[in-house]
Chains A and B, each alone.
Chain A
Amino acid sequence: MSEDLLEINDLQVAFTTRRGVVEAVRGITLTVAKGEMLGLVGESGSGKSVTGFATTRLLDAAGRVTGGKILFRGQDVTKLRGDDLRQLQGAAMSMIFQNPRAALNPIRAIGLQIADAILTHKKISKDAARAEALELLRAVQIRDPEARMNAYPHELSGGMCQRVMIAIAISCNPALLIADEPTTGLDVTTQKVVMDLLAEIAAARGMATILITHDLGLAARYCRRIAVMERGRIVEEASPKILFTAPQHAYTKRLVAASPTATSRIEDLVTEEERERTAAVVSKPRPAPAHGTPPLLEVRKLAKRFDQGSAAVADFSMTMAGGESVGLVGESGSGKSTTSRMICRLIDPSEGDIVFDGQSIGHVAARDFHRSRFRKDIQIVFQDPNESLNPRYTAFDCIAHPLMRLDGMRGGDALRKRVEECAERVGLPLDLLPRFPHQLSGGQKARVGIARAIACRPRLLVLDEPTAALDVSVQAVVLQLLDRLRRENDIALLFVSHDLNVVRMLCDRTIVLRNGSIVEQGESRALFDNPKTDYTRKLVEAIPHIETGPALAAAL
């Protein structure tokens, strides 16, 4: 192809770490044509971001290109120095980063930050640069751009910050834009708006774009060509359609299977050979509750107001039966985490009552709830498996602690047996128990978190985005695990998530929250297939579906 803007030839990148040299990229070859949008998909550690950083020469000090070439307009980027390099950065190629708020200077007004980028590459006056910055803010569709020029990043939402970041990246009309997980961490609706904007700008300005993402669905929606990376190598490169209908490589197959779609079921998430191990568990038909038994959980008119006065949650009511799974979805700020924490009795509600197993627990202060006999019945799995484990506790200690505190167990063989039993139930190999969290992978940490939560045999498990920080293939396994636990042990699950595809698979019923109140609720499949309110419809439409069939064919 003569129109290739970027040509990566057998690129190898290695990092020097305390434990020796780690090869992050092991010989990848890739081309990007002018104006093309290429998807670079892979899980964490696959080397996709490192490839991006090597191309823009932003590798940190420990990283080094050990082999291969990166040709940009025929010029080898890896050999550029000093001023030649700076003329390239920003002017010819630029980058958008994952965490938009951290990527902007917190103590510099955003207008100045955009102007900084402009002034680096154009010899114009400060006023002219300011005017251009204002134009750019308009181009990225920021409302009231004049006022926003003097705003600081902390005064803007995550989506707004990402728009500002886009404005900085496109300020000098680069020919190549590398977007590294540009929408990870944003709400689904924001995600769609930002991605649409990015695609529109790239198309209008004829910019080639490399979209680096872990989300196969997102890449499929916006890219004509997707390269799949695994452990530093490109394992497959194809159009989305071929990738989804006829994946060639085993890893791609697993990745495609693990990406939840509108129609997938939990069982579909792993490939057939992996499924065999769990297939033995047959769903027990749940006995109908005896007449007159109170529901496991009944929440009545729950409300929470924080200091400022406006209600974070208002008038929230729900009931849950034993062994039922209910999803709680909504965008950030919708109050779903606040609600789940009130139900877990980690924070106190301002109004309303929580009735668990026929007893009111809403009025037990959160401070004292650890002494309540219901503490072990209601357990929580936290969002970030890295942050929610004590770094000085081994996996064994993490699981044993609640048993000692809540079940009154002492050390010794009985405790050891219970901990090992929990580890087995969540599929955590026993030889990992003496390890500390930093010696475990993300998926293993998630299992420790779940084992800890089920150690005291709770009847209600509250899960606050338990898979948000995990790769899709790990997520698939964790979801299966949760579903199995629910069926085997009759644990009720309250699943808080922004990922509607996951909720649809795992939950019998779904509650949609917005600005602290319930917008819609009902049986999951019906609710998603046929949303009754505009808000739910918007949420559903924003999910990057992996489109199969006619829709995709029409697009190609």
Chain B
Amino acid sequence: MSKGIAITGMGIISAIGNNVAENYHALLNGNKGITRVAKIKTNHVNEIMVGEIASTNNEFEQQLNLNSDNNYSRTAFLGAVAAKEAVKHAGITNINTYKTGLISATSVGGMDMTERYFYDYLTNKTTQKYIEGHHAGDSTQKIAEQLGIEKSLVTTISTACSSAANAIMLGARLIKSGELDRVIVGGSDCLSKFTINGFKTLMILSDTYNTPFDENRKGLNLGEAAAFLVLESDAVVKSENKTVLAYVKGYGNANDAYHQTASSDNGDGATIAMEKALKVANLTPNDIDYINAHGTATGNNDLSEGRAIIRVFGENVPDFSSTKAYTGHTLAAAGGIEAVYSVLALQNNVIYPNLNFETQMKEFDITPQLELKEKPLKTVMSNSFGFGGNCSTVIFSKEP
């Protein structure tokens, strides 16, 4: 049984950087990764903006030394790149020295290839290799293979936009219970026509830069990204004399049970998730120094989340901001991306600005942090909410 859940490595690729250092640099300098979509041919190109990663699939193929007959989806490429950085960062040379698992999260999976070859499959043998790559577990199997994880616990979580937060939660539980000594947790999602058109039908895509927690917010920008953390037990940290970046201190998942896609007006699910996480962490609301909010910039989310934050924190709402204005909403990966950002905040004692904010929301008087702020941080809360009423909160801390 491990009491502390140590984070000993991180890896990330997003629209604002190909690794942890680049992402941190962009966060500090207020560099957004939001542009018009370039790699996907869509009729909506002038009606939406996205957080797209510059590298092409061919470039990833070379970076990972894969043969051209591979059947990687872009989700798998992104995930493999980020997970490898995390493992390297944790100084792991032989991954099978300890009982090591992988919990990944995705919502898109291999849909990028499915939508490209949907009818082509029926007549073209050369594209049929991607049929097996469609299901959500396939990218996870490939990431495990890239990391050399064999004969071990590998699974995939898909709870829409809270998926990666839930992967962290399961990973923490597996270490606490002694089921694993070490687990790589996170998520990966690439952009696809499927999600672009899907969110378009819900009429929640902004035609310009997304503006979290702003009165005049117009909706979200989709993004693509992958991020992973290496979690290790106290025993591994001790015997390997590991540097610990931060700890997973608390976690909570709840269901809003209100609507298939929308959050409830009062943020019931979000409130329960935050309260559960505080309870697991054995902390009070006053202990939270910064909230990395879900803050997608949809009318519904920001109102519901803001109200939930007020319900949990009352008069003393800590500094909070959404980093979606930098990266776009990276769906299943978002909880992983924001976990990396939360750990970087703790390590460097900084709070990132909530970019693009202009007008205070009229429903409440809490305002996100608007400038980069330096302040000693001990604990950071990260929220991730998804369709199906799925609400997740993870708390990261400097102390175990």
A, B from the same assembly: no
